[in-house]
């Protein structure tokens, strides 16, 4: 436990220069865009001289490095700025939407894991059969079809034509639901975006599972287990799949940041009030503080998922030790 704590602490220290580097790049890219985001906040009747004076007071005309260090000092104190669009602190705006994206992402990840891993294992054990070809074609379609196009097809079929599921939003407007009725209503709204978001992850995870399982089934210890008369089911699920867990941990943990960032199109199509749609609105309205806050949040989550993957490696494989 002491070794684990030291390792985690050392990795957290190592993330600091990475986060600073990411913040510098993103801040520069945002600030180098033409125009200013504060014009929409000002009275259109103000004279140009007054607008310039207000921009000067806001520090907009300061050199980029000075603006960055001002932002960094505030960020170190837990203040990511003030959202231009929502007129609220950036942390409050992100916090109000983060939970919605987390729920959608977790459900879509669980769905993709439940589908991808069994299908990948079956495809690998039945290589070059009809089952393998069907799974391979499905994975190819999942990787090829754009998420926004697939989402529009689902809306057309299940919402417009059949009327089974709501088109957009997170809850039914104009209805005050509580308890189980509220949960069911949210689940109905979440079903279509969850399927769309899970499609891309299912396809890639299925391919990784299949290819890695094929290689594992060719190893000597699998041949030895088979020669000793071990049941095929036990060989696959107790020996081969167990040794594939390291690859699956890598793929699944690396999909966590992509779920949050990849939710942009999905949440926009289904008007799901999450981080993805918030990021879209921030870019459209040129809400620079909010853009910086969202990007830094995704960067932090990405670094922590890398750390989580390393810890899970040691939990799954006892031969792995923390340096």
> Are residue 19 and residue 100 in the same domain, yes or no?
no
Structure tokens given for 172: 């039914």
Helix (H, G, I), strand (E, B) or coil at 63: coil
Burial 19-34 (b: 16+ CB within 10 A, else e): eeebbeebbeebeeee
Q: What is the pLDDT of residues 193-216, one digit of tens each?
A: 888 888 878 888 888 888 888 888
| Residue 71 or residue 316, greater confidence | 71
**pLDDT higher than threshold 80 for residue 313:** no
Same domain, 177 and 268: yes
- 276 and 138 part of one domain: yes
pLDDT for position 2: 66
Count Cβ atoms below 10 Å from residue 78 Cβ, excluding itself: 8
pLDDT value for 277: 82
Count structural domains, the chain: 2
Q: Percent of the chain beyond pLDDT 70?
A: 85
Maximum alpha-carbon separation in the chain = 88
User: pLDDT digit string (tens) for 68-116?
Assistant: 888 888 888 888 888 877 888 888 888 888 888 888 888 888 888 888 8
Report if residue 321 sits inside a domain: no
Q: Are residue 139 and residue 288 in the same domain, yes or no?
A: yes
CB 90 within 8 A of CB 293: yes
In this structure, are 162 and 228 located in the same domain? yes
Tens of pLDDT, residues 106-138? 888 888 888 888 888 888 888 888 888 888 888
Cα separation, 4 vs 303, whole angstroms: 17
- Residue 41 predicted with pLDDT over 80: no
| Residue environment code for 79-117, b if the CB has 16+ CB neighbours within 10 A, otherwise e | ebbbbbbbeebbbebbeebbebbebbbebbbebbbebbb
Domain C-terminal end among 22, 45, 76: 76
Could you tell me if residue 112 is inside a domain? yes
Residue 304 structural domain? 95-316
Residue 126 lies in a domain: yes
Do 70 and 146 lie in a common domain? no
Residue 322 lies in a domain: no
Q: Domain ends where: 27, 48, 76?
A: 76
Q: With a cut of 80, say whether residue 52 has pLDDT above it.
A: no
């Amino acid at each position: 436990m002491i070794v684990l704590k030291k390792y985690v602490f050392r990795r957290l220290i190592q993330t600091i220069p990475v986060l600073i580097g990411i913040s510098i790049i993103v801040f520069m890219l945002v600030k180098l865009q033409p125009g200013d985001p504060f014009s929409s906040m000002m009275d259109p009747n103000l004279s140009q001289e007054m607008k310039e004076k207000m921009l000067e007071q806001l520090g907009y005309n300061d050199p980029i490095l000075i603006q960055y260090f001002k932002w960094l000092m505030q960020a170190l104190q837990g203040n990511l700025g003030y959202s231009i669009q929502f007129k609220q602190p950036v942390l409050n705006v992100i916090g109000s939407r983060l939970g919605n994206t987390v729920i959608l992402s977790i459900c879509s990840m669980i769905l993709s894991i439940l589908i991808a891993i069994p299908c990948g294992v079956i495809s690998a054990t039945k290589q070059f059969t009809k089952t393998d070809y069907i799974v391979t074609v499905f994975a190819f379609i999942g990787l090829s079809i754009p998420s926004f196009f697939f989402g529009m097809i689902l809306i057309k079929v299940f919402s417009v034509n059949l009327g089974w599921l709501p088109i957009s939003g997170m809850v039914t407007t104009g209805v005050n639901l509580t308890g189980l009725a509220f949960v069911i209503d949210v689940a109905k709204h979440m079903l279509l975006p969850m399927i769309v978001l899970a499609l891309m992850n299912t396809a890639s995870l299925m391919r990784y599972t299949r290819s890695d399982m094929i290689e594992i089934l060719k190893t000597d210890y699998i041949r030895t287990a088979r020669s000793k008369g071990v049941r095929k089911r036990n060989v696959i699920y107790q020996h081969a799949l167990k040794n594939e867990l390291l690859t699956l941990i890598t793929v699944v943990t690396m999909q966590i940041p992509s779920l949050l960032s990849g939710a942009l199109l999905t949440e926009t199509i289904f008007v799901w009030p999450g981080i993805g749609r918030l990021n879209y609105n921030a870019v459209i309205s040129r809400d620079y503080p909010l853009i910086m806050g969202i990007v830094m949040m995704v960067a932090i989550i990405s670094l922590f998922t890398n750390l989580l993957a390393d810890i899970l490696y040691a939990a799954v494989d006892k031969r792995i030790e923390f340096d």
